[in-house]
Amino acid sequence: MLIISLYARTIQTTDSRGLSTVTSILAGWIILESILVIGFRLFPSIEDRFYRSPLGDVFVGSQRLDGYFGLFPDNATAFNKAGGFWLNANTASMFLGAAAWALVWAYVLWRRKIVAYGAAMAFFAVPFTGSKTGLVLLVATVFFVVALRWLLARYGGAGVAVLALTALPLYIFVTHLVELLPSTFRSDSSESLGSRGLIWSVARDLFHQYPAQGLGFGGWTNEFASRIGGLLAARLPPHNTFIAYWANTGLLGASLLFGLWIAIAVTCVRMVKRSRWSRWASAAVCASLGWIAIHGMGDAVDFYGDERSMLLFGLLLGVIVVGSSPREDVEDLGLASNATSGYARPDVPTNRVRSRPELGRVP
């Protein structure tokens, strides 16, 4: 992840067209994942045949599939869930949502059609995963991006503070909006929240017993099993990144994770205020990272998702580091020509200076 972040930072400061190629390749895989999610949700028999085929071993992993068809089936087995390359619909929805906003950023910069198709397909596929968290975040991030774009246009950098002050009223509004959704969605949501409430209540009791040292790696399963049951405990990790890091590494690990997200949030604010890109692009990057952060608060993922979405998370870190840098710093590193870098703001005209070789001289 660190290597990818450094690569993304370096390539942006030398020749951003290389990053355009990377996002175009990523868009192709996202389109394929979206097609699989939609197809598996509509035709569950195809999903079963895919996972049992040699392609399943290649793209999903034989060890995962052994558990999936054995003692540890994941939620993609449900008729109302689909994960594509992922066996967990929630993890799939997190990747699709974060990737969709990352592709929006890339499209605003380079206007490649395959990137636009990838973003549209990813947004469209999120509801087909069956993840309730993904559906709520899909609506919430759209509100966030539109609101941030409008506030930046109206108030400039101060719009970030305005958005922060309205976050709590917006959350209360969304929670009341859930009451208007169909009863099946509300009942499924209550069931999911019930299981997580059980997990987090156990975590609260364990924190009172081991506040500083945590439980150690593997300790969560043992402690949870002693209270709930062995087989169920193996299928119910903490479903919260901070609880997971506290359980594995103690209060120090959870504090470091909190510090990381604070640093990311501060860097995003700087990126938005610097306005290196268009307001749409800056807001899209914030929405992508915010999706990953919030999803990690209620599902069994790491702070970067999983080992596959780690690549996307690393890319986004490199993007916000460059986006938050002063313009003169980046220009010194090779982005002096906005016309060739792809980082010019749409409302700022750029002048190309074309040099002609002198006659009589061999280049």
Q: Which of 240, 244, 285 is nearest to 265 (CA)?
A: 285
Tokens of 288: 């992508």
The secondary structure of 104-167 as a DSSP string is HHHHHHH--HHHHHHHHHHHHHGGGGT-HHHHHHHHHHHHHHHHHHHHHHHHTTHHHHHHHHTH
| Res. 139: pLDDT tops 90 | no
351 in any annotated domain: no
Q: Indicate the burial class of 115 (C-beta count within 10 angstroms; 0-12, 13-18, 19 or more).
A: buried
What pLDDT digit, counting tens, does each position of 277-293 carry? 778 888 899 999 999 99
Q: Which of 242, 221, 257, 258 is nearest to 297 (CA)?
A: 242
341 in any annotated domain: no
> How far apart (Å, rounded) are the C-alpha atoms in residues 182 and 169?
23
Write the Ramachandran bin of 331: left for phi over 0, alpha for psi from -120 to 50, otherwise beta: alpha
343 in any annotated domain: no
Instruction: Please count the CA atoms within 13 angstroms of the CA of 85 that sit on its side-chain side.
Output: 16
- Can you give the pLDDT at residue 180? 60
Close Cβ partners of 228 (under 8 Å, ≥ 6 residues apart): 198, 202, 236
The mean pLDDT of 108-124, rounded to a whole number, is 95
221 in any annotated domain: yes
> How far apart (Å, rounded) are the C-alpha atoms in residues 128 and 40?
9
pTM score of the predicted model: 0.82
145 in any annotated domain: yes
Do the Cβ atoms of 324 and 265 come closer than 8 Å?
no
The mean pLDDT of 94-123, rounded to a whole number, is 95
**What is the dihedral sign for C-alpha 133, 136, 137, 138?**
positive
Q: Report the range of poorest mean pLDDT among 67-71, 188-192, 230-234, 332-336.
A: 332-336
Q: What angle do CA 187, 193, 197 make, to 5 degrees?
A: 145
- Can you give the pLDDT at residue 349? 42
- Can you give the pLDDT at residue 193? 60
The mean pLDDT of 66-82, rounded to a whole number, is 80
> How far apart (Å, rounded) are the C-alpha atoms in residues 136 and 340?
38
| Res. 306: pLDDT tops 60 | yes
99 in any annotated domain: yes
> Which structural domain range is residue 131 located in?
2-333
CB-based burial, 244-267: b 16+ in 10 Å, e otherwise: bbbbbbbeebbeebeeebeebbeb
> How far apart (Å, rounded) are the C-alpha atoms in residues 209 and 202?
11
Res. 223 pLDDT band, cuts 50 70 90: confident
Close Cβ partners of 312 (under 8 Å, ≥ 6 residues apart): 26, 95, 98, 99, 102, 288, 305
Residue with tokens 């119910």, as numbered in its chain: 236
359 in any annotated domain: no
Close Cβ partners of 303 (under 8 Å, ≥ 6 residues apart): 241, 245, 257, 260, 261, 292, 293, 296
Q: Which of 119, 88, 136 is nearest to 307 (CA)?
A: 88
Q: How many domains does the chain have?
A: 1
Res. 251 pLDDT band, cuts 50 70 90: very high
340 in any annotated domain: no
